[in-house]
Amino acid sequence: MLRMIGTILIASLVGGGALVHWRAGTREAAALERWPAVGAFVTVDGVPIHYVQTGNGPDVVLLHGASGNLRDFTFDLVDKLAQDYRVTVFDRPGLGHSGRRAEHRGAFNTDAETPQDQAALLASAAVQLGVRNPIVVGHSFGGAVAMAWGLDHDAAALVTLGGAIMPWPGKLDFQYRLLGNAVGGALAAPIVTALIDPMRTRDAVEGIFAPQSMPEGYLTHVGPGLSLQRHVIRANGRQVYHLRAALTEMSARYATLSLPVELLHGTADTTVGFDIHAVAAADLLPDANLTALEDVGHMPQHARPGAVIEAIHRAATRAGLR
């Protein structure tokens, strides 16, 4: 009898798991149909990298933040910048429609791309696309990738927007500690994908924009279903899980970075703290200009796009590109 009960329980767990994965797969297929790739692909060492390139002028590269994709920038910033620059915007490795190296893939694999790994991959992609001496602009986690790019690869100047560019005190949020764990990440991601309707994430996304409001039409454009794919949840969670250690190493080298750096950061940013990241980094960087955006939250590219464009213009001028 006990053996029969055990068999029934195991079968129930297996069946329930299969149902979760089936539902997750259905949601992922629907998301890819609703929010397909909007650009083209370049392959670096077998890894497909999704990008959009438009405009004419000095090269600007845009790197999105955690859990995001390049659609954050194509919402309206790319079109504005393309009037003065050739703009290349990437999906970072493992997010949006970009792939990952084999050593970073797998449900139970807790390894993840550091900012240095991502910068190397995307800088190689940029070279294939004819990008030379770019101004590299990074939002949030993308700011860390931009800094890594400037430390190790060809760049004229750097601009960070609410950039996560310094190691921070305290613990990571629970979700990242869960996803950083092999078993937690393997089991939690399918449940999230299966249960969460992408278009019911408005409150969570509004929280990222706070104290500003999310622009009308943003959620539909950016494609939250892309962020809720199982492999994207794991990639993002594990990249964030390893970020602080990478920033500890990177920030020790900031004093050697002679490039012009523009740091834009909202003083009301509760996702990536103004003092912890922007102010602390400005003290280390030899040629940094810090712009404090009063009462702005974590999305300056939407809250203050004019200030972002002005910062890119300043970076271009300081680098001798304008």
Three-state DSSP at 40 gives strand
What is residue 16's predicted lDDT score, i.e. its pLDDT?
Answer: 59
How many residues are present in the chain? 322
pLDDT, the chain, mean: 94
Q: Within 10 A of 174 (CB to CB), how many other CB atoms are there?
A: 9
CB atoms inside a 10 Å sphere around CB 20: 17
What is the DSSP secondary structure assignment for residue 245, as one 8-state letter?
H
Q: Rounded to the nearest 5 degrees, what angle is found at the Cα of 123, between the Cα atoms of 121 and 128?
A: 95
pLDDT value of position 144: 98
User: 8 falls in which pLDDT band (50, 70, 90)?
Assistant: very low
In the numeric block, the tokens 């690869």 are attached to 153
DSSP 3-state percent helix, strand, coil across the chain (nearest 5): 50, 15, 35
Q: What is the pLDDT of residue 322?
A: 86
Mean pLDDT of 67-80: 98
pTM: 0.94
Name the domain count of the chain: 1
Task: Supply the pLDDT for residue 229.
Answer: 98
- How many Cβ atoms sit within 10 Å of the Cβ of residue 94? 23
58, 135 in Cβ contact below 8 A? yes
Q: Is the pLDDT of residue 12 over 60?
A: no
**Residues near 227 by Cβ (< 8 Å), separated by ≥ 6?**
67, 68, 69, 95, 198, 233, 236
Model confidence pLDDT, tens digit, residues 113-128: 999 999 999 999 999 9
Residue type, 95: L
Asked if residue 58 lies in contact with residue 81, where contact means CB atoms within 8 angstroms, the answer is no
Residue 177 CB: number of other CB atoms within 10 A?
13
Q: Both tokens of residue 255?
A: 């004093």
Residue 282: other Cβ atoms inside 10 A: 15
Specify the 3-state DSSP secondary structure of 131. coil
The pLDDT tens digits of the residues spanning 129-163 come to: 999 999 999 999 999 999 999 999 999 999 999 99
Above 90 in pLDDT, residue 15? no
Taking only the tens place, the pLDDT of each residue in 163-179 is 999 999 998 999 999 99
What pLDDT shows up at residue 17?
77
- Give the strand pairing for 135-139 and 157-161: parallel
Domain limits for position 105: 3-318
* Residue % of the chain over a pLDDT of 90: 93
What is the tens place of the pLDDT at every residue in 232-259? Answer: 999 999 999 999 999 999 999 999 999 9
Q: Which domain CATH number covers 24?
A: 3.40.50.1820
Model confidence over 283-316: pLDDT tens digits? 999 999 999 999 999 999 999 999 999 999 999 9
What's the pLDDT tens digit per position in 265-282? 999 999 999 999 999 999
pLDDT reading at 13 higher than 50 = no
Q: Where are the alpha helices (DSSP H) in 180-229?
A: 182-195, 202-209, 218-222, 224-227
